Amino acid sequence: MINLEIPKKFKPLVSQGNQVAREVFRPISRKYDEAEHSYPKELDMLASLIDGMNDGSDMGGAGAAGVRRESNGGDEGNRNGSNLSTVLGIIELCWGDVGLLLSMPRQGLGNSAIASVATEEQLEKYGGKWAAMAITEPEAGSDSAAIRTTADLSGDEYVLNGEKIFVTSGDRADLIVVWATLDRNVGRAAIKSFIVERDNPGLKLDRLEHKLGIRASDTANFTLQNCRVPKEALLGNPEIDTKAGFGGAMQTFDNTRPLVAAMAVGVARASLEETRKRLEEAGVEIDYDKPALTQHAAAARYLEMESDYEAAHLLTLQAAWMADNSKPNSLQASMAKAKAGRTCVDVALGCVELCGSLGYSENHLLEKWARDAKILDIFEGTQQIQLLIVARQLLGKTSSELR
Ligand SMILES: Cc1cc2nc3c(=O)[nH]c(=O)nc-3n(C[C@H](O)[C@H](O)[C@H](O)COP(=O)(O)OP(=O)(O)OC[C@H]3O[C@@H](n4cnc5c(N)ncnc54)[C@H](O)[C@@H]3O)c2cc1C
């Protein structure tokens, strides 16, 4: 059974993550929100420190090796592994600043894709590099099976052609994991991911996006024009297996959705803690022993938001714990992402509301967290798409039966 306490062995990690969030992220949070697109150079030292640790993933960047499926070696007992530790680390760091977490070198979502499906040789070759993930296209967002970027085999190389938009860390990463189809007539099963070196002459950066939130994170749009990559750059199995369908690609999402849910949990907690402090300063008492409806309206609203936060937190831990214990977690990963994404947006805005002008002012971070929150309910599958996945799983419907 899952134990909902933080495992003792991860307590030092949680406290280190919190220290980094408090002492490194928070002090530069506003600076890089305002200086959109400039690289937070303070992160270089932090990234080197993390690289220097025995298991670099433990601090909990968005990607790295933290989400590789691990066998529990036939051991029937509980396992608290790298999925849970990554989630716990991300919660702490995003309590500091989610845009800065997304800007951490070598911790991109592309690293998760590599960790999830790469062969040992590919892990060896690309390990330690920073990888962004490029799925979205102008005509394919939520419906990732509709992507048009093509990959044609030519001798020992694949030739990629297409357009990719909204690539997080696209300008800064060393590698871009590009999703492309081997044959548009075959559908989902022909979609594969390819590792493209950032300096490949066939990969052209078109522009960087200006955004509502996570402004410290760069978001790039690319054109791939006769972009040639070696055959070995295809991640996973090159065969088109119509029975396996989208399985390989979706496995990445089962691993990355709990991470985005963890980001949302971190931002929600930051907003709640700041608001609680402000309410206490204003003389509003929050009492857990009295019914919410008998308390000050602000306290009642706070309690309601906090209970949503707790639910999101627990679902996120569950999804990660299941991955560590080799249990299929597609349903729980989507439940966690849906609940945490929506809760984060509701809580961050609710906290701005409760704190009034102080919440709306740029003198404090509450307004920033409200802007940062929205993306967590959009990328890695929107709120609506997560609910669709949950409904399909509960009702036993396929993606063509329920869309
Ligand atoms: C800041 C930022 C960073 C990003 N980073 C990355 C990245 O690193 N890599 C990457 O590949 N992509 C990235 N994305 C893209 C992101 O994943 C997509 O924006 C997202 O998947 C939604 O796609 P879309 O924007 O095309 O919206 P659409 O798919 O056009 O959806 C529009 C609206 O319709 C709803 N909708 C769509 N289909 C259905 C349905 N069947 N039922 C009910 N409602 C539906 C959606 O929920 C949404 O509300 C990023 C986006 C942003 C804004």
pLDDT at position 50 is 74
| Average pLDDT rounded to a whole number, residues 80-103 | 94
Give the pLDDT score at 244.
65
Spell out a b/e string for 8-28, using b for 16 or more CB atoms within 10 Å of the CB, else e: eebeebbebbbebbeebbbeb
Atom number of ligand 1 nearest to Cα 214: 1
pLDDT tens digits for range 219-269: 999 999 999 999 999 998 888 877 665 655 677 788 889 999 999 999 999
Angle, helix 247-281 to helix 109-117, in steps of 10 degrees: 140
Q: What is the pLDDT of residue 111?
A: 86
* pLDDT number for residue 253: 82
Give the pLDDT score at 80. 81
More confident residue, 71 or 66: 71
pLDDT of residue 64: 46
Angle at 14 between CA 13 and CA 19, to 5 degrees: 95
The amino acid at 27: P
Closest CA to 256 of 103, 381, 363: 381
Pocket of ligand 1 (CB under 6 A): 109, 132-136, 141-142, 166-168, 211, 219, 375, 378-379, 382, 384-385, 388, 403
Name the token pair of 101: 């977490």
Q: What mean pLDDT do residues 33-41 have? A: 95
- Average pLDDT, whole number, for the chain? 90
Long-range contacts, stretch 38-44, CB < 8 angstroms, 24+ apart: 39/103, 39/172, 39/218, 40/100, 40/103, 40/216, 43/100, 43/103, 43/104, 43/105, 44/105
**Catalytic annotation present for 5:** no
User: 82 falls in which pLDDT band (50, 70, 90)?
Assistant: confident
Residue-level length of the chain: 403
Model pLDDT for residues 106-129, shown as the tens digit of each residue: 888 888 888 777 888 888 888 889
Share of the chain above pLDDT 70, in %: 91
Least confident of 60-64, 351-355, 386-390, 392-396: 60-64
- Domains in the chain, please, with CATH? 1-403 (1.20.140.10)
**Which residues on adjacent β-strands are paired with residue 163?**
223
3-state secondary structure (DSSP) of residue 48: helix
Q: What is the largest CA-CA distance in the chain?
A: 74
Q: 142: CA distance to ligand 1 center in Å?
A: 5
The answer to whether residue 379 scores a pLDDT higher than 70 is yes
Point out the ligand 1 atom lying closest to the alpha carbon of residue 136: 11
Token duo for residue 73? 């070696």
Residue-level pLDDT at 352? 98
Report the range of poorest mean pLDDT among 213-222, 240-249, 285-294, 316-325: 240-249
In this prediction the pTM is 0.94
Cα 338 to Cα 315: distance, rounded to the nearest angstrom: 10
- Residue whose CB lies within 8 A of the most ligand 1 atoms, among 345, 376, 382, 403, for a mutation test: 382
Spatial neighbors of 214 by CB under 8 A, at least 6 apart, are 98, 99, 102, 372, 375
- Ligand 1 centroid – CA 361 distance (Å): 29
The stretch 388-403 carries a mean pLDDT of 94
Whose CA is closest to atom 50 on ligand 1?
Answer: 166
**Ligand 1 atom showing the smallest separation from residue 169 Cα:** 8
pLDDT at 400: 87
Determine what percent of the chain is predicted with pLDDT higher than 90. Answer: 73
In this structure, of 55-59, 97-101, 398-402, the range with the lowest mean pLDDT score is: 55-59
Provide the pLDDT for residue 246.
Answer: 64
The beta-strand segments (E) located in 231-372 are 234-235
Which ligand 1 atom lies nearest to the CA of residue 378? 20
The residue contributing the CA closest to ligand 1 atom 13 is: 166
pLDDT digits (tens, 9 = 90+) for 143-200: 988 999 999 999 999 999 999 999 999 999 999 999 999 999 988 889 999 999 999 9
CA 284 to CA 142: how far, in whole Å? 43
